[in-house]
A and B are shown apart, each in its own frame.
Chain A
Amino acid sequence: MDIIDRRPNPHGKNLENRRRVLQRARSAVQTAVRDAVARGRIREVGQGNAVSVPSDSLHEPSLHRVFSEGVREIVLTGNREFSRGDRLQRPPAGAGGQGSGAGQAGESGGGEDSFRFVLSRDEFLDLFFDDLELPDLLKREISTTENGVPARSGLSNEGAPSHLDLGRTMRRSIARRLGLGRPKPAELQEVEERIAELEALRPASAEDLEELEGLRERRGTLRQRLARIPWVDPVDLRFRRYTIMPQPATRAVMFCIMDVSGSMTERMKDLAKQFFLLLHVFLERRYKKVEIVFIRHAESAEEVDEDAFFHDPRTGGTIVSSALELMHTIQRERFPSANWNIYVAQASDGDNASSDTARTASLLRDDILPAVQYYAYIEITGSGAVIRGETDLWRSYRAIADENDHLAIRQVGDRKEIFPVFRDLFSRQHHSAEA
């Protein structure tokens, strides 16, 4: 008998097969991923991502019989109270194969209804953002604030002993010793032995004495050369050189601005939330570090945490410019545009105090847009603020958007529309048109 320990063998034999499954079910998985997001489960994006796809896409058909009518006999175990001739009520249809014995599993037709994938976060997001790209992804600044990473960059002839490249050092040492003709210690030893031998001869012949003389001279040279030509010379030393490479890391900040005034219903907030979450996921994917600032406003604006942002009810009128002002202040103080990629996402029902709209527009055009990378405004339709098919705020934003490519505005009416809007806002086409 042989015992073989297979544990150290390479694992993941089935990774290739698993990849092929994903490939085959790609479109189905993609739909499932988008559904998962549309159903508002985006919060789970960071955790385990299980999606179920209809098994059709992975169905393996075969020729097999199913029982539909006639007579069959089923042997079962565990009889307690039945005796011959008892009549039992048929289990209700749709109760599956209950009480129907072995081998009937195919009766429901396709076997399992859906197939569950657990996707890694990267797989999930890759599928989700398959063909999306943020506009103007040229980094504003490649900041080197993150730690540098040492990278090999050739050799140097000085350095710390721990970086000594032994192989190269020895190679050079050998070359030098050969080139300069450093005698081998064995050679010296041989000569010394011969000298000792000759010295021991008594009486010594003239030839021996002559040889002895020659050998002594040779010994002198050898010793001298050995001493003069070191085994390893400082010129041989080679060290691995490391340079600290700046790790290009980019930072982004995302401002979420939302109207929480009385006119915003829960439904509207929910839609806005979807949009913010999507944007966040996307930015998180692009940038190593994404800060989020939540600003809510009604008559006045304040910076809040995420929970309060989405769940704390507020009432009152609406003054949009207060939020923009606050955003601008925070940005200037904490996120200088020289170091940060700045993204702003604003959600509103388009309602604003009519006296405020002009101020909002000028703030946006003159102060905010020049500083930010991208500004997305979504207006959730269904409010009472619509005049001639569009709201006041929408009209003034549209005028600005016509002049500024990095202001994007969209209207959204329903949960389903969130994702298409998002795609639309950040689609590659948009990007290339802009470039």
Chain B
Amino acid sequence: MDQIVSGGGSPARSGGLLYSGNDWNFQIIRDCYDAIEEIATRELGLEIYTNRVEIITSEQMLDVYTAHGMPVGYKHWSFGKRFIGHENAYRRGLMGLAYEVVINSDPCISYLMEENSATMQALVIAHAAFGHNHFFRNNRLFREWTDPSDILDYLEFARGYIARCEERHGLRAVERVLDAAHALQNQGVNRHSGARKLDLKAEQQRAKERRAYEDSVFNDLWRTLPTEAGDAAGTAEGAHARRLLGLPEENLLYFLEKNAPRLAPWEREIIRIVRMIAQYFYPQPQVKMMNEGCATWVHVYIMRRLHELGRIDDAAYLEVIHSTSNVISQPGFDAGGGASFNPYALGYAMMTDIVRICTEPTAEDREWFPDIAGNGDAIGTLRHAWAEYRDESFIQQFLSPKVIRDFRMFRLSDDTAQPYLLVDAIHDEAGYRDIRRSLARVYDPGTFYTEIEIVDVDLLGDRTLKLEHRTRAGQLLQAGDARQTLDYLASLWGYGVVLQEVDAQTGSVLATHSAGPS
């Protein structure tokens, strides 16, 4: 990839060394940032949100991990659990801390560890503040599903709201709702319709109105009535009401927030908060490989250019190479430590390969990628891919035979009816397409999310909520977890809950889970 044609604009200027040695200070960071920015915008044409770089200690990095990188978060024991887990792993040396964490917000905040050397700070700025930042801003999934300008304010609002609820209603009551909502948060996103933009003012306004309403209708007499009263309502309009409920509904938390009969207004608001945050994080796993690949490719490009322009010395560049090759190593399936793909390695390899195809294609590339082979616009092609694809479609579209060969990929067919595993495709002419298809499927959200829908509510009877999981035999829900989660669901719904697992092809019921009202 040494012959990359730059993507428009004049090449960055050269200049003296930015720094030498390992120590950094704020001026060095600023200088590096300026030099990197010049390359990123002039040569790569990256478009980014305004950057904010924050220097933190390793202890603070652990905090950042716990909150998915978000600088503020409400209090819940599950975050403490995650924190203790990370802390243990870190203390025992099982886990190194990342050099940086970057979050999808506007301004885009990158956290840099104080322990990093000057070279690592520069690398990390190129990686996070430009690579990830460009990806966050331009990828279709993020553009459609998240609103980075409001997220920080919304989190602040969420923390304040939940803290106030804890004061008014007690820790236990709030924890009950949060526990249940957390269990359901994977079923708390709209997968198909896109997210509406967050509007902080409207959120706060609604919270206030809910509270005011609660206060205005407060009558101590009601408290003395038995809570079971008022069940007699649902009669003939059952079917009509079901239509009004908008069933079937895939977003369980949304349904509960709007329709659960026994929730107090503040409980609905907490469910909404969990749902909003889950929705915000929804795109991330779907583009993880591309996002990391993009950031890695960008930092490799930028650091190489800095070296070529004489802005960093050989020692620093060796450190870059060393660190990068650690990040993009892909252990073989038998190397221990799991057999999964390293998203950095695959993403970086594919993007490097796209550059190769664009600039010096082989006959094979011309056959496989007639539209981009030799088009001479490597960076434009990459920018297009970063903007318009997610992991699944990116693999489907761009995984080349060369990358398959380089990784020496092969496919196993695991049929539980057979006593053996069958190697049914390897990196040869006959196997490329099979491997590509199977690998893309691993990244298909349809395979890693469990799609469960609310299909009916027994409005005329005991208000039992009916859910359906469309699947196939051998791919059922983990039963113990399913039961516990349904308990949570039932506690929010207030009445019984039944979940049927239905074969998507034949329609036969494979399993049934249920939970009663608590």
CA distance A9 to B114 in the complex (A): 13
Contacts A78-B333, A78-B334, A79-B409 given; indicate if A101 touches B84 (C-beta within 8 A). Answer: no
Q: Which of A3, A6, A77 contacts B29 (CB 8 A)?
A: A3
Q: Are B334 and A68 closer than 8 Å at their CB atoms?
A: no
In the assembled complex, B30 has its CB within 8 A of some CB on chain A: yes
In the assembled complex, B122 has its CB within 8 A of some CB on chain A: no
CA distance A90 to B79 in the complex (A): 38
Which residues does chain B contribute within 8 Å of A118, judged by CB atoms? Answer: 84, 87-88, 91
In the assembled complex, B416 has its CB within 8 A of some CB on chain A: yes
In the assembled complex, A217 has its CB within 8 A of some CB on chain B: no
* Chain A min CB distance to B269 (Å): 21
CA distance A19 to B485 in the complex (A): 24
Q: Are A65 and B84 closer than 8 Å at their CB atoms?
A: no
Q: Are A14 and B81 closer than 8 Å at their CB atoms?
A: no
* Chain B min CB distance to A5 (Å): 5
Contacts A63-B452, A67-B475 given; indicate if A11 touches B485 (C-beta within 8 A). Answer: no
Q: Are A106 and B478 closer than 8 Å at their CB atoms?
A: yes
In the assembled complex, A7 has its CB within 8 A of some CB on chain B: yes
In the assembled complex, A355 has its CB within 8 A of some CB on chain B: no
In the assembled complex, A338 has its CB within 8 A of some CB on chain B: no
Contacts A2-B52, A70-B416, A115-B85 given; indicate if A77 touches B407 (C-beta within 8 A). Answer: yes
* Chain B min CB distance to A96 (Å): 9
Q: Are A17 and B79 closer than 8 Å at their CB atoms?
A: yes
Which residues does chain A contribute within 8 Å of B428, judged by CB atoms? Answer: 84
In the assembled complex, A399 has its CB within 8 A of some CB on chain B: no
* Chain A: CB-nearest residue to B59: A11
* Chain B min CB distance to A79 (Å): 4
* Chain B min CB distance to A105 (Å): 8
Q: Which of B52, B331, B334 contacts A1 (CB 8 A)?
A: B52
Of B9-17, B301-309, B320-328, B417-425, the one contacting chain A is B417-425
CA distance A62 to B182 in the complex (A): 8
* Chain B: CB-nearest residue to A3: B53
Q: Chain A 1-34 against B: per-residue CB contact (8 Å), 1 yes, 0 no?
A: 1111111010101101111111110000000000
Which residues does chain A contribute within 8 Å of B59, judged by CB atoms? Answer: 11
Q: Chain B 420-461 against A: per-residue CB contact (8 Å), 1 yes, 0 no?
A: 111111111011000100110110000110101000000000
Q: Are A74 and B412 closer than 8 Å at their CB atoms?
A: yes
Q: Are B473 and A69 closer than 8 Å at their CB atoms?
A: yes
Which residues does chain A contribute within 8 Å of B63, judged by CB atoms? Answer: 11, 13-14
Contacts A78-B331, A80-B408, A99-B333 given; indicate if A62 touches B485 (C-beta within 8 A). Answer: yes
Q: Chain A 73-85 against B: per-residue CB contact (8 Å), 1 yes, 0 no?
A: 1111111101111
Q: Are B408 and A79 closer than 8 Å at their CB atoms?
A: yes
CA distance A318 to B332 in the complex (A): 68
Q: Are B83 and A17 closer than 8 Å at their CB atoms?
A: yes
Which residues does chain A contribute within 8 Å of B51, judged by CB atoms? Answer: 1-2
* Chain A min CB distance to B41 (Å): 12
Contacts A5-B55, A87-B421, A102-B341 given; indicate if A66 touches B77 (C-beta within 8 A). Answer: no
Q: Which of A5, A7, A69, A87 contacts B416 (CB 8 A)?
A: A69
Of the listed residues A18, A67, A70, A76, the one surrounded by the most CB atoms of chain B closer than 10 A to its CB is A76
* Chain B: CB-nearest residue to A20: B77
In the assembled complex, B199 has its CB within 8 A of some CB on chain A: no
Q: Are A62 and B186 closer than 8 Å at their CB atoms?
A: yes
Q: Are B79 and A70 closer than 8 Å at their CB atoms?
A: no
Q: Are B60 and A6 closer than 8 Å at their CB atoms?
A: yes
In the assembled complex, B50 has its CB within 8 A of some CB on chain A: yes
Which residues does chain B contribute within 8 Å of A23, judged by CB atoms? Answer: 77
CA distance A116 to B90 in the complex (A): 13
Q: Are B481 and A64 closer than 8 Å at their CB atoms?
A: yes
Of A53-61, A122-130, A229-237, the one contacting chain B is A53-61
In the assembled complex, B246 has its CB within 8 A of some CB on chain A: no
Main SS class of interface, B: mixed
In the assembled complex, A97 has its CB within 8 A of some CB on chain B: yes
Q: Are A67 and B480 closer than 8 Å at their CB atoms?
A: no
In the assembled complex, B33 has its CB within 8 A of some CB on chain A: yes
* Chain B min CB distance to A358 (Å): 58
Size category of the binding interface on chain A: 35 or more
In the assembled complex, B104 has its CB within 8 A of some CB on chain A: no
Which residues does chain B contribute within 8 Å of A60, judged by CB atoms? Answer: 78, 81, 182-183
In the assembled complex, B262 has its CB within 8 A of some CB on chain A: no
Q: Chain B 390-431 against A: per-residue CB contact (8 Å), 1 yes, 0 no?
A: 000000000000000001111111111101111111111011
Q: Are B75 and A16 closer than 8 Å at their CB atoms?
A: yes
Q: Are B409 and A77 closer than 8 Å at their CB atoms?
A: yes
CA distance A238 to B54 in the complex (A): 47
In the assembled complex, B504 has its CB within 8 A of some CB on chain A: no
Q: Which of A265-307 contact B (CB under 8 A)?
A: none
Which residues does chain B contribute within 8 Å of A18, judged by CB atoms? Answer: 80, 83-84
CA distance A116 to B86 in the complex (A): 11
Which residues does chain B contribute within 8 Å of A72, judged by CB atoms? Answer: 413-414
In the assembled complex, B384 has its CB within 8 A of some CB on chain A: no
Contacts A11-B59, A76-B333, A88-B420 given; indicate if A101 touches B426 (C-beta within 8 A). Answer: no
Which residues does chain B contribute within 8 Å of A102, judged by CB atoms? Answer: 338-341, 442
CA distance A331 to B438 in the complex (A): 80
CA distance A43 to B330 in the complex (A): 44
Apart from A4-B55, A87-B421: 19 A-B pairs, beta carbons within 8 A: A1-B37, A5-B26, A11-B60, A14-B83, A61-B481, A65-B471, A70-B415, A70-B475, A71-B414, A76-B333, A77-B330, A77-B332, A80-B408, A86-B422, A88-B422, A102-B339, A102-B442, A109-B478, A109-B480
A contact set with B: CB distance below 8 Å: 1-7, 9, 11, 13-14, 16-24, 50, 58-80, 82-90, 97-103, 106, 109-110, 115-118
B contact set with A: CB distance below 8 Å: 26, 29-30, 33, 37, 50-57, 59-60, 62-63, 66, 75-81, 83-85, 87-88, 91, 107, 111, 114, 129, 182-187, 330-335, 338-341, 407-417, 419-428, 430-431, 435, 438-439, 441-442, 447-448, 450, 452, 469, 471-478, 480-482, 484-485, 488
29 A-B pairs, CB-CB below 8 angstroms? Answer: A1-B30, A7-B114, A13-B63, A14-B66, A14-B80, A20-B80, A21-B81, A23-B77, A60-B182, A61-B481, A67-B474, A71-B415, A73-B414, A73-B438, A74-B339, A77-B332, A77-B341, A78-B333, A79-B409, A79-B426, A80-B408, A86-B423, A88-B420, A89-B420, A100-B339, A103-B442, A109-B480, A110-B480, A116-B84
